Amino acid sequence: MAKAKTTFYCQNCGANSAKWVGKCPACGEWNTYVEEIVTKGSSTEKEVWEDASAPRNQPRKIQDVVYDEHQRIKTPTGELNRTLGGGIVPGSLVLIGGEPGIGKSTLLLQMAIRMKTTKVLYASGEESLDQIRMRAERIGIQAENCFLLAETSLANILNHAAQLKPEILIIDSIQTLHTETIEASVGSISQVRECAGKLMKYAKQTNVPVFLIGHVNKDGAIAGPKVLEHMVDTVLQFEGDRHLSYRILRTSKNRFGSTSEIGIYEMRETGLREVTNPSEVLISPRDGFLSGVGIGATLEGNRPLLIEVQALVSPATYGTPQRSTTGFDGKRLNMLLAVLEKRLGIRLSAQDIFLNLAGGIKVNDPALDLTICAAVFSSFDDIAIPSSICFAAEVGLGGEIRAVNRIESRITEAAKLGFKQIYLSKYNVKGIDTSKFDIEVKAFTRLSEAFEVLFAR
């Protein structure tokens, strides 16, 4: 009996080696190499979906290739259409990753049972048919063209797909599949890579879009070999806190559209609800005046959002003052606090400072700088910022107010939500007719000038 061939694979990046090594030469991680048995099947065997009479692919001139811009499959979810670049491209391979319990399976099952005129095959290796039906009952939607399959063998799934001929195939999840051509454990690097490769071949040859649900590791990256993300056409990340109701579907790779789009959902008992106007959700209603609260106009991808920034400044109880942030970069907060101390003479070195972005969202947009400075000063002096004012400007180390990109869409979003004034940089309003906006635009060059008007300081 021939000895089984084994190869060592890095569990972090998917690199392979003939022998075990302590440190991966590709990604630099330690103790990530594991031994796996590799047995290749015959490369000449025909798959069940392949047409033996079909002609082989031939080289063609690029101008001879006919492309139909309207061939995308529209889903009932506008947020999903946006993140995919306008709909599902036939023959595409889409990977959706996210934390356990975040709602990946619910998102795709909801899409499958809402597409009433499209035949969808939902293959699950994690749940039984009864469990999937129970979740579908909770969502409260019935569909005639949604077919369920509880299976972990990739060969069986593709056999059923060849007979059913679905228009969309959903796999939940890629880490639960296995193929007989690889003698490795389920979820291993080689199994995930081989199964993804066969599904990619199926999608391209049958022109059927395939959705893959992927697990994530402790760092939040999609588990398995890094080549998995290179193989697929689109990578979507489903983000959010399980203790909060809002979820963000973010595009990190898209061969057929922009990677700057996001979709926002709210998790309810009846499933995921689209949030068409997230600014109204991220701004909590206020009764009366409350110090330490400011509204900032930011961008998430190509979408303008208005976010509530909450700051709390109080005398330090212990020797070392605390600096705590939720949803914002702590190092940038420390920089803004140093600017307030140096340029405006505000003594914050003996104060505990807590900063929170309402709604559980995480933002790295520097356009929130002016909002954060205003909220911190508002809490420090206990002076409330009027709820009709919002901000959109970056603050430099010299205390100057700097311009930010796509200012017109930020102003339009603020006017649409009923704000009366928006504070900007003077360099942003050059060449812009501010009279066309239904909001008063106040422009400044320095932080001290803005605070004089805002706080009469």
pLDDT digits (tens, 9 = 90+) for 300-343: 877 888 999 999 999 987 778 899 999 899 999 999 999 999 99
Tell me what pLDDT residue 242 has.
67
**Annotated domain spans of the chain:** 1-40, 74-276, 281-455
pLDDT digits (tens, 9 = 90+) for 168-203: 999 998 999 998 887 777 887 888 888 999 999 999
Q: What is the share, in percent, of the chain residues with pLDDT greater than 70?
A: 90
CATH T-level assignment (fold) for domain 281-455: Ribosomal Protein S5; domain 2 (3.30.230)
- Tell whether residue 174 is among the known ligand binding residues: no
Tell me what pLDDT residue 42 has.
46
pLDDT digits (tens, 9 = 90+) for 125-147: 989 999 998 888 888 777 788 99
- Tell whether residue 99 is among the known ligand binding residues: yes
**Cα separation values, 364 from 27, 176, 301, 328, Å:** 26, 35, 11, 6
Across 340-356, b (16+ Cβ under 10 Å) vs e yields beebbebebeebbbbbb
CB 387 within 8 A of CB 286: yes
- Tell whether residue 76 is among the known ligand binding residues: no
pLDDT digits (tens, 9 = 90+) for 196-248: 999 999 999 999 999 999 988 776 677 767 778 888 999 999 987 766 778 88
pLDDT digits (tens, 9 = 90+) for 389-414: 999 999 999 999 999 998 999 999 89
- Tell whether residue 288 is among the known ligand binding residues: no
Look up tokens 């504070």; give the residue: 423
Burial of 256 (0-12, 13-18, 19+ CB in 10 A): middle
- SS3 per residue for 21-33: CCECCCCCCECCE
Q: Give the pair of three-digit tokens for residue 380.
A: 């420090």
Comparison of pLDDT for 452 and 69, the residue scoring more: 452
Average pLDDT over residues 414-435: 90
Specify the DSSP element, H or E, that contains 408. helix 407-416
- Tell whether residue 209 is among the known ligand binding residues: no
Comparison of pLDDT for 179 and 9, the residue scoring more: 179
- Tell whether residue 98 is among the known ligand binding residues: yes
CB 420 within 8 A of CB 389: yes
Closest-CA residue to 392 (of 354, 421, 417, 351): 421
Tell me what pLDDT residue 28 has.
83
Instruction: Write down the mean pLDDT value for the chain.
Output: 86
Contacts of 313 (CB under 8 A, 6+ apart): 292, 348, 351, 352, 353, 376, 379, 380
What letter would DSSP give residue 202? H
Could you tell me how far CA 234 lies from the centroid of its own chain? 12
Does position 382 have pLDDT exceeding 80, yes or no?
Answer: yes
Average pLDDT over residues 349-359: 90
Does position 278 have pLDDT exceeding 80, yes or no?
Answer: no
Q: Please state which CATH class domain 74-276 belongs to.
A: alpha beta
Across 127-156, b (16+ Cβ under 10 Å) vs e yields beeeebeebbeebebebebbbbbebeebbe
- Tell whether residue 46 is among the known ligand binding residues: no
Tell me what pLDDT residue 44 has.
45
Tell me what pLDDT residue 121 has.
95
> Does the predicted model carry a pTM greater than 0.85?
no
Q: Give the pair of three-digit tokens for residue 153.
A: 């063998």
